[in-house]
Amino acid sequence: MLENLGWNTLFQEKWNESKQENWVRGRIVTQSRDFSKVMTEQGEWLCTLPGSFTHHPTFEFPAVGDWVAVEQLPGEERGLIRHVLERQSEFVRHVAGLETKAQVIAANIDYAFLVMSCNEDFNVRRLERYLIATWDSGAQPIIVLTKSDLTDESGRMEMELKIDEVAYGVPVYFVSNETGENIENLSKVVQPNYTAALLGSSGVGKSTLVNSLLKTDKMKTNTIREDDSKGKHTTTHRELILLPDGGILVDTPGMREFQLWSKGESTGLSESFTDVEALITQCKFNDCQHETEPGCAVKEALEEGTLTQDRYDSYVKLQKELAYVERKQDEKLMRAEKDKWKTISKTVKKMYKD
Ligand SMILES: Nc1nc2c(ncn2[C@@H]2O[C@H](COP(=O)(O)OP(=O)(O)O)[C@@H](O)[C@H]2O)c(=O)[nH]1
Ligand SMILES: [Mg+2]
Ligand SMILES: [Zn+2]
């Protein structure tokens, strides 16, 4: 039963190390601030986190896709989340707004479906961002171009060329919920017990795609509420869904902005920009700024047109963005450290007084 939800031997090992007698395993199906819906071996339970959990200094809310240990409340279909199993992957972004904080969009995913629509939403610069986050997540990227019924052969070729430039070797699927193009093939990508998350802007057809893959109308989509002025963002929470052939999907609400998060040791930028970084190693000087130095391989490539200016500018911009987030994170850690010492010294002083 748990196997159908993506349980594997690695989780089993972690579980064996941590399990306690009254704990039941489950996977988070939906997550809001206060509640988690958890699919356990004994059914779907509404679960909360005990306060002691959230007061822990390194506390992080569990996310959709997390495997958790639940303690059932006696006689109820509710429980307390006692433990979150170590994640095998996590897709993270910088939370929208000014706060320096990570937001886990989905945990324990095998595939990241990077969804853009063929008509209005296609944007390689955004794709670059999603790719960096995907390489950092530990999931495999799959590019999904929806609404293929709204473009023609030359439109497709143009998009394929642009994608080749930023995501060479990443699988690309043109899909349409209207004509059914590639729906079957995409469903085969999500093999039984594997999890794929649909990531992308609002309105690109993610929920409709889930319905196509499910062969039902489970997910609410924009069309249903087209006459409802508030109905623009129909998917309001992330949700884990089981496919009839055994795969698992996570539908997510659209992300209006996608700011990067860095985990310090992140290599996503390098993995997404192997072309640029390979050039940099060929510059004559190790500390080349790629501006006026002689023997600069980057400048040469830009002049020859083998590297486009847009791509290079994007690399520089994303690198700065990541460095900024890292600096902010360091500052935040330092502040937390200072606060900790303040509290400790206060306690010590008080002890001496008493
Ligand atoms: N032409 C066309 N429209 C689509 C397709 N898939 C979805 N749509 C429309 O796009 C809109 C947004 O769909 P929805 O699934 O709610 O997008 P989401 O916000 O990404 O979940 C709806 O009006 C859908 O009917 C498609 O393959 N072709
Ligand atoms: Mg949706
Ligand atoms: Zn250079």
For the chain, percent of residues with pLDDT exceeding 70:
93
The residue-averaged pLDDT of 312-330 equals: 90
Residue boundaries of the structural domains of the chain:
2-84, 90-251, 268-348
Question: Does the pLDDT at position 173 exceed 90?
Answer: yes
Q: What element of type H or E holds 318?
A: helix 309-353
Amino acid at 138: G
pLDDT for the residue numbered 232: 41
Both tokens of 336, joined, read 């937390």
Q: Which one has a higher pLDDT value, 236 or 173?
A: 173
Both tokens of 3, joined, read 């196997």
Dmax of the chain from CA atoms? 81
pLDDT for the residue numbered 54: 75
**HSE (side-chain half, CA atoms, 13 Å) at 271:** 18
CATH architecture of 2-84: Beta Barrel (2.40)
> How far is C-alpha 277 from the chain's CA centre?
24
pLDDT for the residue numbered 220: 63
> How far is C-alpha 196 from the chain's CA centre?
10
Q: Which one has a higher pLDDT value, 223 or 236?
A: 236
Q: Which one has a higher pLDDT value, 59 or 125?
A: 125
CA of 201 to the centre of ligand 2 (A): 9
pLDDT for the residue numbered 56: 72
Q: Do domains 90-251 and 268-348 have the same CATH topology?
A: no
C-alpha distances out from residue 305 to 11, 166, 168, Å: 48, 15, 17
Q: Which one has a higher pLDDT value, 150 or 4?
A: 150
Q: pLDDT tens digit string along 211-220?
A: 999 887 666 6
pLDDT for the residue numbered 116: 96
The residue-averaged pLDDT of 196-215 equals: 93
Q: pLDDT tens digit string along 276-316?
A: 999 999 999 999 999 999 999 999 999 999 999 999 999 99
Q: Would you say 68 and 62 are in contact if contact means Cβ atoms under 8 Å apart?
A: yes
CA distance 74 to 45: 12
pLDDT for the residue numbered 231: 35
Q: What element of type H or E holds 336?
A: helix 309-353
User: Can you tell me which residue has the tokens 């993506």?
Assistant: 6
Q: Which ligand is nearest to the CA of 285?
A: 3
Q: Give the global pTM.
A: 0.88
pLDDT for the residue numbered 230: 37
CA of 240 to the centre of ligand 2 (A): 13
Map residue 72 onto helix, strand or coil.
Answer: strand
pLDDT for the residue numbered 221: 62
Q: Which ligand is nearest to the CA of 200?
A: 1
Map residue 245 onto helix, strand or coil.
Answer: coil
Pocket test for ligand 1, best of 221, 228, 256 (most atoms within 8 A of CB): 221
pLDDT for the residue numbered 70: 95
Scanning 138-214, the segments in alpha helix (DSSP H) are 153-166, 183-189, 206-214
The 10 Å CB-count burial string (b at 16+, else e) for 272-291 is bbebbeebeeebeeeebebe
113 φ/ψ angles, rounded to the nearest 5 degrees: -80, 110
Average pLDDT over the chain, rounded to an integer:
89
Q: Which one has a higher pLDDT value, 21 or 228?
A: 21
- Determine the topology of domain 90-251 in CATH: Rossmann fold (3.40.50)
Both tokens of 308, joined, read 């486009």
- Residue 224: pLDDT band (50, 70, 90) is very low
Pocket test for ligand 1, best of 199, 222, 230 (most atoms within 8 A of CB): 222
CA distance 168 to 313: 18
CATH number for 268-348: choose from 1.20.1630.10, 1.10.3080.10, 1.10.40.50, 1.10.150.120.
Answer: 1.10.40.50
CA of 158 to the centre of ligand 1 (A): 22
Q: pLDDT tens digit string along 79-122?
A: 999 999 999 999 999 887 778 888 899 999 999 999 999 988 89
Long-range contacts formed by 302-308: CB under 8 A, 24+ apart: 307/275, 307/276, 307/279, 308/165
Please list the residues that pair with 107 across neighbouring strands: 90
Q: For the residues of 124-181, what is the DSSP string, one character each? A: HHHHHHHHHHHHHHTSEEEEEEE-GGGS-HHHHHHHHHHHHHHSTT--EEE--TTT-T
pLDDT for the residue numbered 226: 37
